[in-house]
Structure 1
Amino acid sequence: MNNMKQNDNRVFHISLIISILIVLWGIIGQSSFANFANSLLVFLTNNFGWAYLISMLIFVVFAIILAFSKYGNLKLGPDDSEPEYSNASWFAMLFGAGMGIGLVFWGVAEPLSHFVAPPGMEAGSVEAADFAMKSSFMHWGFHPWANYSIIGLALAYFQFRKDKPGLISSIFIPLFGEERVNGPIGKLIDILAVFATVAGVATSLGLGTLQINSGLNYLFNIPETALIQIIIILIITVITIWTAVSGIDKGIKILGDINLYIASGLLILVIILGPTLAIINNFTNGLGLYISDFIKDSLSISAFGDNSWVNNWRIFYWAWWIAWAPFVGSFIARISKGRTIKEFVGGVILAPALVSIIWFAAFGSLGLNLSDTVGLDTLSQAAQFPETALFKVFEYYPLTNILSFITVILLTTFFITSSNSATFVLGMFTSNGDLNPTNSKKFLWGVVQALLATALLLSGGLEALQTASVAAAFPFIFVMLLAMVSLMKAFRKENI
């Protein structure tokens, strides 16, 4: 136990030092940070795109097969354990942590981007519209949630059924043995998980800050400047730390429920006020294309042709989701005690993927529906600035200001939900897997996340943010593949 505590302190100190050094580099050497980030992005996407594609498909197949296997009825906890949270609260918390700001940020902007600049197709055509919806469904559907489920399922199993610490390294006890997991190998895995979490969440927080700023500019003429963005991060960080310190039952759960109600209300309003028939048809047609081309699109990368679209969109997304896997997976594990593996897979993959697809069908149709009204040039302009695209599109529909105001509120609650979940998980990771980390740890990580998001914004905006998530995610591919092997090794010892 003393050895574990010592290792835990090292994980905390090394992770904190790495995070602070990156923050300082981002603030002091803005141009060198951006140059390094760009070079790293090009290198990883050009040379290892195949690894992202194959791994993410493996995660989907593994999770689905496991749910319907003989292990599907295994409880994540003792055999007599029951879920701690209602289905609605459980879904609200996992969905808020897992997608957060990204849905609002890209709901209109991504389908528009594919529609006005589809690879190898005529912009604005019916084929481009089909491609836009299918690609958006792919990027926000089964793959990201299956990716979360790998870490979430493994950690919940070892945490609650085997009484191991809430650390990513605990997953590897069947593979490496307890002594090695408590030594340098386990320490390295936990440091990697902390760094991936901080970088991945900072990416999302940066995106959210830009969009909240653009929404405030649209509604109240508040300028879009670095100073305003820093103020936004500061205010949100104070609320984030307050809710994280309040704990899961008081702060995070209540905010997650509120978040779900606001998101549901906005979605229903958009379906009613928008082109309702087009939304329904886009959902139906897009879902058919998504399912029928699932395997082909999952592995689509050219050996000799131009992969710029795949690199800039799909590979970036897969890297982003993998960067989020340690944090979202750990948080989902923390709130999933007492559920069966089949129930876990259904709740973590199928349900949120379906909600995401409905979201993109609704918001994507808002933008695509304007092609005849405003023309492709106007839509192209909107797509170039994803942080303002949603507000620009709202201008052409009823209740513009009300929709925009609800969106800014939703962005803020999503922002806080993702951030406080991450703050809680980082506290766990750096407290020897303690399921209720100290308030001082949560406070410290809340501040570090805010500083990193600020540094990345100042050092090059979205491009630097994207690169940070890609870089943090890459080594975690191999951690997750090994996690599946370790989990299966542990399952074979169950009496089933």
Structure 2
Amino acid sequence: MTTASLITTTPEKVRLNPTVFYGSTALILLLTLALIAFPDAAGVWLGKAQMWLSRSFGWYYMLAIGAYLLFVLYVACSRYGNLRLGADDERPEFSYGAWAGMLFSSGIGISLLYFAASEPIDHLYNPPEGEPGTTSAARQALQLTFLHWGLHGWAIYALVGLAVGYFAYRHQQPLALRSALYPLFGERLTRGWVGNAVDCFGIFVTLLGLVTNLGIGSLQVASGFEYLFGMSNSQGALLTVILVMSAVATLAAVSGVEKGIRRLSNLNIILFSSLLVFVLLAGDTLHLLNSLVQNLGDYLNGLVLKTFDLYVYTGQSGKSEAWMGLWTLFYWAWWISWAPFVGMFIARISRGRTVRELVCGVLLIPLGFTLAWLSIFGNSALELVMNHNATDLGKAALEQPAMSIYLLLEHYPWSKVVIGMSICVGFVLFLTPADSGSVMLANLSRQGSELDEDAPYWLRIFWSMVITLVTIGLLFAGNFTAMQTVVVLAGLPFSVVLLLYMFALLKAMKSDLAASEQPTALPALPTQG
């Protein structure tokens, strides 16, 4: 049976969407110029704004994030899980192996290298509650790290990927953020100012996430060269790293999903897995395996509590609010800022999959590796700092997080070779989200074309250049931290769009399920004379 569409459209010739393109470009450039021209004033104002948000909307963020996770689990486990992103008889475009590989790489970026050792150590010395530097603080540190990288974030990606893909491939809407709002606002508004506003702000939020990714990536790779080759920690060296990384990412984006991004995903898995296995086997393997099981148990046991934990009863409300703003709320907003382009990319590669397949794939395929990585590297770092007097590692985690992973690896055999390999891992980890992000930004700022046709090359190159220039400007103005604060602020309004996606999906799925269960009318039997 073929599913009836909400609206049938004839493919148009691809062209620029001027409102979305110029509106989002102006928005990001105005913000960047303001941060560069007034770095001190902007930093102070944004710091106050972040504290106000943490104090006033922390409860909302925690409820919204919990709602996203519950919703995707519900639709996957219910009868809606059998609905397909496409016609009922349609089959997936990519093989399961290729799809799983691209899912793995789409949301795992270089930040996993950046925070693998530094975040648990930071939580050890600066816990939201309890005594710092104790074994209980170390145990809590891994529980919090798992929370920030766990199911909640992947649920956000699953929600956006499901919403965009469902309406694009099952109801023949454009592959755009606006399409998922059709059941609530109708065609006139989703193709008018409401749709333009959603796509425009989606580009803006995505750009913030990608700029943060490039900034972290360049600092990570530059720190590796500084450690390995003694390269000076200068603006010129950092500029060279940024330009090289951006150029390679642009080439990959131009090559498209089928070639560049899929090949990078496969390389990503091989390099990443090799580094993880090395640290596991070269370290105290039994301790690391025991710790992984313990960390997983702590995470699952405290999943409900930590989902809604605002540290109201710590007796240190100011300290806890500041910690929430720097860590948990920042992570939730960061996941939301990545959701438009990662979700659209997931939708782009998931045509023909069922709702249940998409949700389970997004929640489970990258998650298992992510938690194993954080546990093995995090516990290795904590062990060195707490029991082997690795003071340089502890200091770097707090003051220069990008260097911490290399100071950890120097305690292992063949450290120079392994650190060189980790720099390559970081470079490839940066490329996959960067090139897929450029493709999705270009797709959002155009209109017309076939559903699976990506935007023209020049548009992908344009967005790659904008990301590069904005990152360079902010890093050299010394106001990159301000951009991370803007990510938290921008995530707030877009979180409302994600809530609307839930209602729109539920409304459409109920209608589709009811239509599919309607018995087919039998032809009337001929009457006998």
Scaled by the length of structure 1, what TM-score is found?
A: 0.96
Task: Give the stretch that moved more between structures: 436-445 or 274-283.
Answer: 274-283
Aligned 1:329-344 pairs, distance under 5 A: 329-344=343-358
Q: 1: CA distance between counterparts of 2:235 and 2:99?
A: 36
Task: Give the stretch that moved more between structures: 70-79 or 223-232.
Answer: 223-232
Q: 2: CA distance between counterparts of 1:114 and 1:302?
A: 15
Q: 1: CA distance between counterparts of 2:459 and 2:506?
A: 33
The answer to whether residue 495 in structure 2 is matched with residue 486 in structure 1 is no
The answer to whether residue 311 in structure 2 is matched with residue 291 in structure 1 is no
| RMSD of Structure 2 on Structure 1 (CA) | 2.0
Number of residues of Structure 1 aligned to a counterpart in Structure 2: 496
Deviation readout 1:346-389 (Å, 9 max, x if unpaired): 11012212211111111101101113444375453122121111
One-letter identity of the residue aligned with 2:192:
G
Deviation readout 1:280-308 (Å, 9 max, x if unpaired): 11111111111111111010114473322
Deviation readout 1:60-101 (Å, 9 max, x if unpaired): 111111111001111111122222223332222223221211
The answer to whether residue 185 in structure 2 is matched with residue 176 in structure 1 is yes
Q: 2: CA distance between counterparts of 1:312 and 1:133?
A: 17
**8 Å CA contact 1:115, 1:132 repeated in 2:** yes
Task: Give the stretch that moved more between structures: 230-239 or 137-146.
Answer: 230-239
In structure 2, the partner of 1:445 is 463
Q: Which of residues 261, 274, 297 in structure 2 aligns to 1:265? A: 274
**8 Å CA contact 2:385, 2:394 repeated in 1:** no
**8 Å CA contact 2:104, 2:365 repeated in 1:** no
Task: Give the stretch that moved more between structures: 227-236 or 31-40.
Answer: 31-40
Q: Which of residues 89, 103, 115 in structure 1 aligns to 2:112? A: 103
Q: 2: CA distance between counterparts of 1:196 and 1:401?
A: 38
Q: 1: CA distance between counterparts of 2:275 and 2:97?
A: 18
Q: 2: CA distance between counterparts of 1:309 and 1:375?
A: 26
The answer to whether residue 152 in structure 2 is matched with residue 138 in structure 1 is no
The answer to whether residue 397 in structure 2 is matched with residue 388 in structure 1 is no
Cα distance change, pair 270–29 in 1 and its aligned pair in 2 (3 A):
same
**8 Å CA contact 1:203, 1:468 repeated in 2:** no
In structure 2, the partner of 1:416 is 431
The answer to whether residue 173 in structure 2 is matched with residue 164 in structure 1 is yes
In structure 2, the partner of 1:464 is 482
Deviation readout 1:260-317 (Å, 9 max, x if unpaired): 1111111111111122122111111111111111111010114473322222211111
**8 Å CA contact 1:167, 1:432 repeated in 2:** no
Cα distance change, pair 373–289 in 1 and its aligned pair in 2 (3 A):
closer
**8 Å CA contact 2:125, 2:133 repeated in 1:** yes
Cα distance change, pair 5–185 in 1 and its aligned pair in 2 (3 A):
farther
One-letter identity of the residue aligned with 1:153:
L
Cα distance change, pair 410–60 in 1 and its aligned pair in 2 (3 A):
same
SS in 2 for 1:369: helix
Q: Which of residues 418, 425, 431 in structure 1 aligns to 2:440? A: 425
State the 1:13 CA deviation.
1.2
In structure 1, the partner of 2:366 is 352
**8 Å CA contact 2:224, 2:419 repeated in 1:** yes
Q: 2: CA distance between counterparts of 1:20 and 1:461?
A: 15
**8 Å CA contact 1:212, 1:411 repeated in 2:** yes
**8 Å CA contact 1:211, 1:387 repeated in 2:** yes
Cα distance change, pair 25–119 in 1 and its aligned pair in 2 (3 A):
closer
Q: 2: CA distance between counterparts of 1:289 and 1:270?
A: 22
Aligned 1:31-430 pairs, distance under 5 A: 31-303=40-312, 305=317, 306-375=320-389, 377-384=391-398, 385-430=400-445
**8 Å CA contact 1:83, 1:336 repeated in 2:** yes
Q: Which has the larger radius of gyration?
A: 2
Q: 1: CA distance between counterparts of 2:222 and 2:344?
A: 30
SS in 2 for 1:352: helix
Identical amino acids, percent of aligned pairs: 34
Aligned 1:6-45 pairs, distance under 5 A: 8-45=17-54
State the 1:470 CA deviation.
1.0
Q: 2: CA distance between counterparts of 1:16 and 1:279?
A: 47
Q: 1: CA distance between counterparts of 2:192 and 2:386?
A: 62
SS in 2 for 1:300: coil
**8 Å CA contact 2:103, 2:365 repeated in 1:** no
Q: 2: CA distance between counterparts of 1:94 and 1:462?
A: 29
**8 Å CA contact 2:51, 2:322 repeated in 1:** no
Cα distance change, pair 200–4 in 1 and its aligned pair in 2 (3 A):
farther
Deviation readout 1:110-129 (Å, 9 max, x if unpaired): 11111222233233322112
**8 Å CA contact 1:151, 1:326 repeated in 2:** yes
Task: Give the stretch that moved more between structures: 223-232 or 165-174.
Answer: 223-232
**8 Å CA contact 1:155, 1:333 repeated in 2:** yes
Q: Which runs of 5+ in 1 are unaligned?
A: none
Q: Which of residues 495, 498, 502 in structure 2 aligns to 1:477? A: 495
**8 Å CA contact 2:54, 2:321 repeated in 1:** no
Cα distance change, pair 389–166 in 1 and its aligned pair in 2 (3 A):
same
**8 Å CA contact 2:39, 2:477 repeated in 1:** yes
SS in 1 for 2:81: coil
SS in 2 for 1:278: helix
Q: 2: CA distance between counterparts of 1:354 and 1:433?
A: 38
Task: Give the stretch that moved more between structures: 114-123 or 246-255.
Answer: 114-123
Q: 2: CA distance between counterparts of 1:124 and 1:27?
A: 38
